[in-house]
Amino acid sequence: MNITEKEAQEKYNEGQKAITKSFFKLKFSADYLEGSEKFTESAKIYKKLKNYPKSIESFNQAIICYKKLNDYFQSGNCYLEISEIYFFELNNIENGLKNLQNASIQYKIGGKNQQAIKLYTDISDKFLNEKKFDISEKILNLCLKECEESADNQLIRISGEGVYTKFLDVLCASKKYSQAIGITENYIKSQLKYEKKDMYKINQMYVKLAILRILNGEDYLVDEIIGRMHQLNYSDTMEDVSDLRKLMDSIKNLNKKNFNFCITATYSLFENNLLKGLQELYKKKEEEFNEGNKNNNDNNNIVGINEKKEDNKIKDNNEINTDSNKEGNNDNKINNNDDFL
């Protein structure tokens, strides 16, 4: 059965009729329940027909009804639908983000705190699948800020850890290590504020921060991070510092066995793109080393060739001098013979 705009408009009109009071018809209160249903049906039909402006208008009417009913989950769903239209159909990122935030707010008011976070990560994943990293970063950045603002809520705090991990992975994929350092520093600060601190997680965050410094060419700042780790007075700090030193030495000395152990064992649970960045750094150092050896060998070959040429030149000069001496001796012999005669 084909749906038509006429059907969508009829549903919209029914929604308007449901919420309209009429003294003459003895209708003294609006029926927001029926209105919300009719507007939502209208919006979905318009969306299927790709009449996006009318779909957004209908969803907004449904939102008004759902708020009147205190059904914040459904109003959040409508905001989410609008955000997806702006994101994926109209390519209007600004309005997409605005409606996505509104959806999150509605979910929180309705007590759906985890869904309020999940909607961000779900939309972010869709952009990641399309390789649109910049948009995904904006969404995750908004989400992380919301998590930090609501960190007193245990469920949001737990969800925030997953958001940080995803955001860090996205930034590392784009080689935006400076920005990754910034969000890691902020995340550590937020973790340190809690009365019940998770020392293991904080310690791991410091290790990731040190690795990010290495990837950003700031190895000289690692010692300062290690100092902050020691201040935690955490039992595993010494082992974590030792592993970090081992990683740095393996890169510096191009010890592939130790490096691979760090990647596949010690830090195997870290973000994929963080580990990929380390592998690319090691490969770069290895190529630079091999290139340096090649240049040295080439220079040595050139020096050897020049020295050989110089030796041959000296030899040729000696031979010339020898021939000259022979000629001189022959001339002397001739002169002596003349004198004898």
String of DSSP letters for 60-111? HHHHHHHHHTT-HHHHHHHHHHHHHIIIIIS--HHHHHHHHHHHHHHHHHTT
Beta bridge partners of 22: 27
For 178-200, write each residue's pLDDT tens digit.
999 999 999 999 888 888 888 99
What is the tally of structural domains in the chain?
Answer: 1
**Residue 221 domain flag:** yes
What pTM was computed for the model? 0.76
**Residue 332 domain flag:** no
For 229-239, write each residue's pLDDT tens digit.
999 989 999 99
**Domain span holding position 190:** 176-294
The mean pLDDT of 306-311, rounded to a whole number, is 61
Contact 22, 68 (CB under 8 A): no
Comparing 131 with 64, which gets the higher pLDDT? Answer: 64
Please, which residues have CB within 8 angstroms of residue 73's CB and are 6 or more apart in sequence? 106, 107, 110, 112, 115
**Residue 261 domain flag:** yes
Please report, as a single letter, which amino acid is at residue 340.
Answer: F
**Residue 133 domain flag:** no
**Residue 95 domain flag:** no
Comparing 215 with 26, which gets the higher pLDDT? Answer: 215
**Residue 306 domain flag:** no
